[in-house]
Structure 1
Amino acid sequence: MASLSARALAALIVGWRDLANGPAYAALADRVRLLILDGRVALGTRLPAERELAAQLGLSRTTVSAAYADLRDSGYLDSVRGSGSVARLPARGGVVPDVLVTDQLDFSKAVLPAHPAVAEAAQRAVAALPSFLDESGFDPYGMRLARQAIADRYAARGLPTDADEVLITVGAQHGIVLLAHTLLSRGDRAIIESPSYPHAVEALRSAGARVVTVPVTPAEGWDESALEQAFQRTSPVLAYLMPDNHNPTGATMPKAQRERIVALAAEQGTTLIADETIGGLELDGQAVQPPFATLGRAVMLGSLGKSVWGGLRIGWMRADRELIQRVARNRFMTDLGTPILEQLILVELLADLDRILDDRRAYLRASRDHLARRLAADLPTWQMPSVAGGIAAWVNIGLPISSQLALAARNEGLVIAAGARFGVEGLFERFIRIPFTYPPEVIDRGVDALAAAWRSVTRTPLSVTDGDYAQVV
């Protein structure tokens, strides 16, 4: 059973008492409840003992005991004498808590509705399926037809690729997990951006990595000095980057900086992983960057989850043959191959992907502009940056209360991830990611809910200190 130390839990709930209108135990319970709801504390995790957490937070044990009791009463903890308190979700049945109602609007997922081309491609794939029914389907590399289609697309983008340098995965996240468990040993250093895609952080840590963070901001992009220091001081085994329309900031890395990173990785023997999941979604007519691997050795990850449809669980990695073979050998420990029908759908969609991306860019551009107008009108103190690409805005809400806001939003019918979900050790309480992957009428509902939640959590003035600002990286 996984366990969480008092120190680790305290890092996740930095600022938990800010704007707390009620008793301290209720504010503490609310913050832990949110950690469980948004996945920062996994179900089944043993929480620290009451005495240890009280000492870490500088509270009385009575306060922590009352918070744990509140969580038990609402169904978020199971406590057994001798075994501690374990995170869980309330059982379905009886009165369902507000935070679990199923008709809430979900902004925690920045996903587009399925493109119409998906259904058409699926029909063609089903028609082609009989020709492949004599194959076993247990193939860790993927069908050669699909691998060749990916290779051809890379070649068309300026990166000559052979089918043997491609492996088909069950989405990009699957690729991150496979690479992490192939390349990393416990205690190895791995560079990751801050903020970053939360499940990438989880994948690296599950493989035993000690993550080294490098700041990224919407306006300034990647901190080059921090990048250089991270490579030179830690000699990382792996570096996971999202250089195109970065999630969640929307930043895109310039060519000169890419060249510098390739050189740094080569000096340290670091394997670069460039996640192109949101590549091709440049919104203001800017040129699409060539694949990272055109500049030097790098593993390329891609999928259709963000650009075409999240329900199509298929992706790929492009790497040198030796690494592809290592990953394929390790893959049988986790799964036995990618479904053939999905691979046939992939082949069909790749032939039409440029047109699909044109459609997506137009849709996202209109939705982004609509979100900007609504936030300016309804939440004028918030700062939405200029977003040149991607699927979401990394909005500065001005106060370090993103977790309180996310919890309050659930009571207004909106599920949204707190900014800290995208950081490490409780950072980014001053930010929230707002997706613009939804049509205007849905964005309107989301902004209405955020505005109501904001009013509810800012009724009591907050005294902001220099220490609060230091939390933002």
Structure 2
Amino acid sequence: MTEPIPWPVDRLVAQLGRWSVSRGPLYLLLAERLRQLIDSGQLPPRAALPPDRVLAERLAVGRTTVVAAYDRLRQEHKLERHQGRGTWVAPAVLSGTRPGAVPLANPMFVNYLEPVEGVIALACTAPHGPPPELARAYRRAVDRLPGPDSGDIGYHPTGHPELRSALAGHYTRRGVPTTPEQILVTTGGQQALALLTRLFVGPGDTVLVQGPTYPGALELFRDAAAVLEPVPGDDVAAWTAAFATRPRLAYLNPTNHNPTGRTTSALTRRRLVEVAAAQGVPLIDDEVLAGLSFDGGQPPGLAAYGPAITVGSFTKVVWGGLRTGWVRATEGDIAQLARLKAIHDLGSAALEQLAAVELLPELDEVSRRRGAELRRRHDHLCAELAESLPQWDFRPADGGQCLWVRLPRGDASGFAQVALRYGVAVLPGTALDAAGGSTDRLRIPFTAPPEEIGEAVRRMARAWEAYQRVGGPAPASVHAIVV
């Protein structure tokens, strides 16, 4: 008989996602979500589920909730449970996943992107709606589409020539001389990071990351089976020691850092680039948030100090729906990245790229306005937290989109589960920490309108009261959304 496949509790909690956001007894909601995972093949046959107590603790529910959910699925022949041997997905269940398949990267990233009615989404940082400049840019772009006899087939694997040239000029004006051949246009910053990961990282390679850092990058590196080594934020001595081990790659987002909102000083930037170059370590500078400084400025990127690969995007400054990003690197790296991109999608959408060309001259003004608005929302969130949750600790951000908040007690993952049942989705710190730490941290964005931020904080305050009443988990009788 095939042995059960151990299924890590962290992975299962991520797969469950926002399982408790409907109304009804929690054990039924949990059973329904597990049933969906089993029927879709995301939980394959023979997947061994976590023990009752372990899963209950991570979901911040009573053990009886998990026992009842497991028993219900056992009665439906979805699960098998044996005293002393555990609980696993029944082998007879049809599944789209082959037995023994290696699970994909943490699915939390997907589970928190889609909106859910009645839930305030504070797990994803993104602008709430595009600026008016974007619609005007698209209208101008439509007028510039090639005619039927132009001979333009619409495929541009390295990017539309006009956008590559415009982005090269953008960097040159910022003091980083760049040619169009050093630019690859991508479908958002995430694809840029995915292509770089594919180019540089193989199974077992060491990748240096900030601790904490952007979770989307961590998922890409994990999916490549890399060994992640977190290094404390701007600790030059720690980075110098880490570079000396000759890792395969280093990834930083030093401007308006996700999630702390801090910006690395020019002196530290210069030193990090020098040390990485001396050790021959490719260094990625994720500048996706660089245009969101509260003071309206934008410090020089790492490429201003020496060899560095730059990733940029319109996503955070303009709108998440504008899926246009880029990589700035050496011509050799760009040529290899273009080959990888062509294999995947033959090139990004031409109309979007033409709109980006039209938008680029106005990007500084859009960034300044977006940064000023984010500062007002940041200050509003800080005030709301100080009033409703004064025991929570945080440092105000320099820019960006989120606060990095420390809970005075308890576990942030458990609290996040309770918060879901009060109608607000927040991201626990462990999702952003390569070492699995930051268990007492939450990432709370301030991208929403002020009235939504205020309501979200009030819901979190009620969830915090419930979480504390039982010394941690909320009572199992709490229904999905209490507003």
Q: What's the counterpart of residue 136 of structure 2?
A: 120
Q: Is the 8 A contact 1:10 1:56 kept in 2?
A: no
Distance in 2 (CA, whole Å) between partners of 1:453 and 1:214 is 33
1:319 has 2:336 as partner: no
**Amino acid of the residue matched to residue 277 of structure 1?**
V
TM-score normalised by the chain length of structure 1:
0.80
Distance in 1 (CA, whole Å) between partners of 2:382 and 2:292 is 18
Q: Secondary structure at the match of 1:130?
A: coil
Q: Is the 8 A contact 1:157 1:291 kept in 2?
A: no
**Amino acid of the residue matched to residue 236 of structure 2?**
E
The alpha-carbon distance between structure 1 residues 374 and 64, as it changes in their structure 2 partners (threshold 3 A), is closer
1:232 has 2:244 as partner: yes
1:270 has 2:268 as partner: no
Q: What's the counterpart of residue 465 of structure 1?
A: none
Residue range with higher mean Cα deviation, 124-133 or 355-364: 124-133
Superposed counterparts of 1:178-197, under 5 Å: 178-197=195-214
Q: Is the 8 A contact 1:245 1:279 kept in 2?
A: yes
Cα displacement (A) at 1:147 = 0.3
**Amino acid of the residue matched to residue 392 of structure 2?**
W
The alpha-carbon distance between structure 1 residues 101 and 204, as it changes in their structure 2 partners (threshold 3 A), is closer
1:105 to 116, 120, 139: 120
The alpha-carbon distance between structure 1 residues 74 and 449, as it changes in their structure 2 partners (threshold 3 A), is farther
Cα displacement (A) at 1:311 = 0.6
Q: Deviations over 1:131-184 (max 9, x none)?
A: 596322222101110001100000010000000100000000000000110112
Distance in 1 (CA, whole Å) between partners of 2:115 and 2:375 is 32
Cα displacement (A) at 1:423 = 1.6
Count how many residue pairs are aligned between Structure 1 and Structure 2.
422
Distance in 2 (CA, whole Å) between partners of 1:421 and 1:251 is 19
Cα displacement (A) at 1:82 = 7.0
Q: Mark the runs of 5 or more structure 1 residues left unpaired by the alignment.
A: 14-25, 89-98, 217-221, 463-473
**Amino acid of the residue matched to residue 391 of structure 1?**
Q
Q: Deviations over 1:215-273 (max 9, x none)?
A: 23xxxxx222321222113x111111101001011111111211221122122211111
Cα displacement (A) at 1:9 = 3.6
Q: Is the 8 A contact 2:45 2:90 kept in 1?
A: no
When the two chains are superposed, the root-mean-square deviation of aligned CA atoms in Å is: 3.7
Superposed counterparts of 1:424-443, under 5 Å: 424-443=434-453
Q: What's the counterpart of residue 235 of structure 2?
A: 223
Q: Secondary structure at the match of 1:332?
A: helix
The alpha-carbon distance between structure 1 residues 63 and 107, as it changes in their structure 2 partners (threshold 3 A), is closer
Q: What's the counterpart of residue 342 of structure 2?
A: 332
Cα displacement (A) at 1:299 = 0.5
Superposed counterparts of 1:207-356, under 5 Å: 207-216=224-233, 222-233=234-245, 235-284=246-295, 287-356=297-366
Q: Is the 8 A contact 1:247 1:392 kept in 2?
A: yes
Q: Is the 8 A contact 1:4 1:45 kept in 2?
A: no
Q: What's the counterpart of residue 189 of structure 2?
A: 172
Q: Secondary structure at the match of 1:185?
A: coil
Cα displacement (A) at 1:390 = 0.6
The alpha-carbon distance between structure 1 residues 274 and 83, as it changes in their structure 2 partners (threshold 3 A), is farther
**Amino acid of the residue matched to residue 256 of structure 1?**
L
Q: Is the 8 A contact 1:5 1:48 kept in 2?
A: yes
Runs of 4+ off more than 6 Å:
10-13, 55-59, 62-65, 82-88
Q: Is the 8 A contact 2:45 2:92 kept in 1?
A: no
Cα displacement (A) at 1:438 = 1.4
Q: Is the 8 A contact 1:12 1:425 kept in 2?
A: no
Q: Deviations over 1:90-116 (max 9, x none)?
A: xxxxxxxxx995332211111112111
**Amino acid of the residue matched to residue 349 of structure 1?**
L
The alpha-carbon distance between structure 1 residues 152 and 420, as it changes in their structure 2 partners (threshold 3 A), is same
Distance in 2 (CA, whole Å) between partners of 1:353 and 1:236 is 35
Distance in 1 (CA, whole Å) between partners of 2:348 and 2:312 is 15
1:205 has 2:259 as partner: no
**Amino acid of the residue matched to residue 118 of structure 2?**
D
Q: Is the 8 A contact 2:295 2:372 kept in 1?
A: no
Q: Deviations over 1:400-444 (max 9, x none)?
A: 321122112222221222222212353222111111111111111
Q: Is the 8 A contact 1:6 1:56 kept in 2?
A: no
**Amino acid of the residue matched to residue 114 of structure 1?**
P
1:137 has 2:137 as partner: no
Distance in 1 (CA, whole Å) between partners of 2:404 and 2:75 is 32
The alpha-carbon distance between structure 1 residues 397 and 48, as it changes in their structure 2 partners (threshold 3 A), is farther
Q: What's the counterpart of residue 17 of structure 2?
A: none
Q: Mark the runs of 5 or more structure 2 residues left unpaired by the alignment.
A: 14-25, 57-62, 80-88, 98-102, 105-113, 473-483
Q: What's the counterpart of residue 454 of structure 1?
A: 464
The alpha-carbon distance between structure 1 residues 380 and 294, as it changes in their structure 2 partners (threshold 3 A), is same
Distance in 2 (CA, whole Å) between partners of 1:280 and 1:460 is 43
Residue range with higher mean Cα deviation, 372-381 or 203-212: 203-212
Distance in 2 (CA, whole Å) between partners of 1:387 and 1:10 is 29
Q: Secondary structure at the match of 1:457?
A: helix
Cα displacement (A) at 1:65 = 8.6
Q: What's the counterpart of residue 166 of structure 2?
A: 149
TM-score normalised by the chain length of structure 2:
0.78
Cα displacement (A) at 1:202 = 1.2
Q: Is the 8 A contact 2:4 2:47 kept in 1?
A: no
